[in-house]
């Protein structure tokens, strides 16, 4: 019922080791993973408070699309279809360079590779940037 | 420790505790681990850990949600002192958390020592020259004249990232509304947090409260000698009032907490 689950902080690309305190399936708190080689038992203020966004009532837990000005909760398939249709429409009307892709420090190298591949090969633009430059 | 595992099994079997917080190797890391009657076979993996976590704080956190549990922890003298302080401030009832005691780390309160994480570290030349060697005894610090001492502390304090790690890891910090986040006390919205106020507020709160476990200093990303600061504060408490923090369930001479500390009436945090 009570366990400490090791994980990696999802806030930035540093990748500090964290420990979630979990009681009956709910995260009570976050601790630094003391033996993690990256952060050696230290965290910044964001890492210390990871549990707050996991538990936040404002957290989006399912995909939503905006239809006629209102957000509707939909399945992933429907959301992806919706995004694909809109991207196609934008590219058809304004050309591929009207699309930009922002990759992330929080996903893996391989996923970032796929994302730039998607931008260049599927969309046809070199507008690729990364959140670490924001 | 001869038969740590057998003792925990007995505690669980006889119902002395419902949950025992010890350590186990998980995914290559020694992690705090909860043993209970449903996973008795895992007790063979119970171990001491080279990395210390505030098990008593985790235990108190569980009790805040499930107050009827009886909890045991693998601990040292510092954990026991922290439990006394938590009981003094009504965060737990005395005896609600049992300690299976291991050998101990160095502290003016407890000489005998084997805690690896508290070995003196070596620091770079700038810190040694301009700042403070964290392993310096308070008496050595006092040999500097007041101006030098003040400059040294300012150098250390201005490195603060305001991560609140020192507070969050601390087994005896539990206030719902912490003074360190109170806009009337410390200016908000800047890093470093107001120097030296932020650290002095916490130092005052640690008077008669800090049990010298050193976890805050371990957690500080910028090596501020927090332990030295709180040691000094508690030396003063001892000299003036003869009070030794954590050694008994006696009320401390001064209790300065954040506002609305749960279970504490008449706190006067805002007066700091
Ligand atoms: S040494 Fe630091 S973490 Fe430990 S009780 Fe004192 S203030 Fe809290
Ligand atoms: S742990 Fe260190 S950096 Fe973080 S708030 Fe405390 S003193 Fe500042
Ligand atoms: S108000 Fe003081 S004693 Fe309370 S949590 Fe904050 S620093 Fe600790």
Q: How far is the CA of B175 from the centre of ligand 3 (A)?
A: 6
Whether the pLDDT of residue B10 is over 80: the answer is: yes
Tell me how far the alpha carbon of residue B3 lies from the centroid of ligand 2, in angstroms.
39
Asked, for residue A134, whether it belongs to a domain, the answer is no
Both B233 and B194 in one domain: the answer is yes
pLDDT-derived band at B2 (thresholds 50, 70, 90) equals low
Residue ranges making up the domain that contains B9? 2-101
**Are the beta carbons of B54 and B170 closer than 8 angstroms?**
yes
Among all residues of chain B, which has the CA nearest to that of A40?
B219
| pLDDT (average), residues B156-167 | 97
Query: pLDDT by residue (tens digit) across A30-89?
Result: 999 999 999 999 999 999 999 999 999 999 999 999 989 999 999 999 999 999 999 999
Same domain, A34 and A73: no
CATH code, domain carrying A51: 2.20.25.90
CB contact under 8 A, B220 and A42: yes
- Does one domain contain both A9 and A51? yes
ipTM score of the complex? 0.86
Cβ-contact B184, B263 below 8 angstroms: no
Do A14 and A46 have their domain in common?
yes
Q: Are A117 and A107 contained in the same domain?
A: yes
Residues B86 and B145 in one domain: no
Q: Which domain holds residue A80?
A: 60-94
| Contact status, residue A45 vs residue A81, Cβ threshold 8 Å | no
Does residue B73 share a domain with residue B180?
no
- Which residues, in sequence order, are CB contacts of A24 under 8 Å at separation 6+? A1, A2, B65
Using 50, 70 and 90 to split pLDDT, how confident is the model at B266? very low
Q: For chain A, how many structural domains are there in total?
A: 3
* pLDDT tens string B35-61: 999 999 999 999 988 888 999 999 999
From chain A, which residues contact B within 8 Å (Cβ)? 1-4, 6, 17, 19, 21, 23-24, 28-29, 31-36, 41-45, 48
Residues B75, B140 share a domain? no
Ligand 1 atom nearest to CA at B211: 5
Domain boundary at A39, A55, A71, which? A55
Say which ligand is closest to the CA of B205: 3
Count of domains for chain B: 2
Q: Is B214 in the pocket of ligand 1 (CB under 6 A)?
A: yes
Q: B56 with B145, same domain?
A: no
- Which of B154, B215, B220 best tests ligand 2's pocket when mutated (most atoms within 8 Å of CB)? B220
CB B37 within 8 A of CB B12: yes
Provide long-range contacts, Cβ within 8 A and 24+ apart, for A54-57.
Answer: A54/A27, A55/A26, A55/A27
Whether residues B95 and B133 fall in one domain:
no
Q: Identify whether B213 is part of a domain.
A: yes
**A95-132 residue pLDDT tens:** 999 999 999 887 888 999 999 999 999 999 999 998 77
B238 CA from centroid of ligand 1 (Å): 17
Considering B111-125, B199-213, B243-257, the range whose residues carry the highest mean pLDDT is: B199-213
Residue at A24 is within a domain: yes
What distance in Å separates the CA atoms of residue B142 and residue B64, rounded to the nearest whole number?
41
Residue A133 lies inside a defined structural domain of this protein: no
């Amino acid at each position: 019922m009570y366990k400490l689950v090791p994980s990696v902080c999802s806030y930035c690309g540093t990748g500090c080791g964290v420990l979630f305190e979990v009681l009956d399936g709910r995260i009570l708190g976050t601790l630094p993973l003391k033996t993690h080689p990256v952060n050696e038992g230290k965290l910044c203020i964001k890492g210390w408070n990871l549990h707050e966004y996991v538990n936040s009532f404002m957290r989006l837990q399912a995909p939503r699309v905006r239809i006629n000005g209102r957000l509707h909760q939909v399945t992933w398939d429907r959301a992806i279809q919706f995004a694909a249709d809109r991207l196609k429409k934008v590219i058809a009307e304004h050309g591929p360079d009207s699309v930009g892709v922002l990759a992330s420090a929080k996903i893996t190298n391989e996923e970032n590779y796929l994302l730039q591949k998607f931008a260049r090969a599927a969309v046809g633009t070199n507008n690729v940037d990364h959140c670490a430059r924001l | 420790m001869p038969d740590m595992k057998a003792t925990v099994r007995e505690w669980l079997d006889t119902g002395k505790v419902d949950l025992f917080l010890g350590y186990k190797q998980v995914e290559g890391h020694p992690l705090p681990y909860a043993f209970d009657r449903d996973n008795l076979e895992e007790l063979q993996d119970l171990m001491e850990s080279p990395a210390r976590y505030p098990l008593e704080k985790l235990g108190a956190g569980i009790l805040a949600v499930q107050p009827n549990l009886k909890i045991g922890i693998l601990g040292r003298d510092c954990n026991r002192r922290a439990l006394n302080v938590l009981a003094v401030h009504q965060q737990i009832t005395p005896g609600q958390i049992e300690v299976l005691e291991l050998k101990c780390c160095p502290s003016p309160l407890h000489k005998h020592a084997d805690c690896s994480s508290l070995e003196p570290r070596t620091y770079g030349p700038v810190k040694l020259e301009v700042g403070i060697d964290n392993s310096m005894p308070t008496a050595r610090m006092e040999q500097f004249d007041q101006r030098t001492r003040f400059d040294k502390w300012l150098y250390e304090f201005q490195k603060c990232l305001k991560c609140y790690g020192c507070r969050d890891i601390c087994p005896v910090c539990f206030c719902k509304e912490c003074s360190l986040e109170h806009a009337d006390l410390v200016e908000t919205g800047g890093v470093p947090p107001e120097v030296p106020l932020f650290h002095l507020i916490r130092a005052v709160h640690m008077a008669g409260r800090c049990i010298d476990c050193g976890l805050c200093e371990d957690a500080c990303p910028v090596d501020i000698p927090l332990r030295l600061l709180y040691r000094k504060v508690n030396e003063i408490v001892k000299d003036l009032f003869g009070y030794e923090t954590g050694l008994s369930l006696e009320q401390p001479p001064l209790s300065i907490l954040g506002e609305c500390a749960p279970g504490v009436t008449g706190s006067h945090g805002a007066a700091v």
